Amino acid sequence: MRTVSAILLLVTALGAWAVEHEFYWDNGVPGGSYAFNFAARYYVVFDEELTGGRTDGVVTRLGVYTRPNWPDSTYQGCYLFVINNTPDGYPGDELVEVYAPGIPGQYSWVDVNVQLSDSTFWVGWKQIGLYPACDAISYDSNGGTGHSWHPGPDGWLPYDLMLRCYWEDGEVTIRESTWGRIKNLW
């Protein structure tokens, strides 16, 4: 009984938490941006390469790097989505939609809480307004990794869109300790 009590006291005293990861494919340096005269949507897929095949993850934050509209440089923002993966490997149903304000020269982050049931999921972007009165999504300055997609004639894009997310892996980890702390608890 003393052992069980000591272990419960140890977990209570030291705490436990899920591990959070930032997922992205871009290099963080804007190379250009897109805006259109129709309600454009773009997507980035986060797959087993990042999730490690875990199906119990939670998306906790979404981030996007946008450029302001032209010519007045006022940010309108955009909509961000978490989307499930279809069996044929394309974006499926939207699990959440949130508004993200544009922030000059940095990522705009919004909190979400999306429980996933697949190890592959998508983050999507939709512009508000039409070109030129809309914000543009940025893409990075080097070649792509094959994870950015447009549902029109473009298909898979040759660069990485600057869409990111934070993902918790659902695995509870007990904080590391020293024997001194454990002995003090006993």
**pLDDT tens by residue, 3-22:** 434 333 333 444 556 789 99
Domain with 83 in it: 18-171
In the sheet that holds 30-34, the strands lie side by side as: 30-34, 136-140, 66-67
163: exposed, middle or buried (C-beta count within 10 Å: 0-12, 13-18, 19+)?
buried
In DSSP notation, the chain reads -HHHHHHHHHHHHH-EEEEEEEE--S-SSEEEEE--SS--EEEEEE-HHHHTT-S--EEEEEEE-EE--TTT-----EEEEEEEEPTTSSEEEEEEEEEE---TTS-EEEEEEEE-SSS-EEEEEEESS-TTSS-EEEEESS---S-EEETTTTEE-SS-B-EEEEEEEEEEEEPP--HHHHHHH-
User: How far apart are the C-alpha atoms of 141 and 161, rounded to whole Å?
Assistant: 10
Bridge-based pairing of strands 121-127 and 41-46 is antiparallel
| Better pLDDT: 126 or 144 | 126
Instruction: Tell me the pLDDT of the chain averaged across its residues.
Output: 81
Q: How many domains does the chain have?
A: 1
In a domain, residue 177? The reply is no
Indicate if the pLDDT at residue 91 is higher than 60: yes
Domain membership of residue 78 (yes or no) is yes
In a domain, 180, yes or no: no
Residue 8 lies in a domain: no
Q: Has residue 157 been placed in a domain? A: yes
- Does residue 3 sit within a domain? no
Q: What is the token pair recorded at 79?
A: 């909509």
pTM for the predicted model, two decimal places = 0.80
Domain annotation covers residue 9:
no
Handedness of CA 20, 110, 57, 12 (dihedral sign): positive
Confidence of residue 183 (pLDDT cuts 50, 70, 90): very low
- Residues 145-170 have pLDDT tens digits of 899 988 877 788 888 999 999 999 86
| Domain at 49, CATH number | 2.60.120
- Indicate the Cα dihedral angle 138, 144, 148, 150, nearest 10°: 80
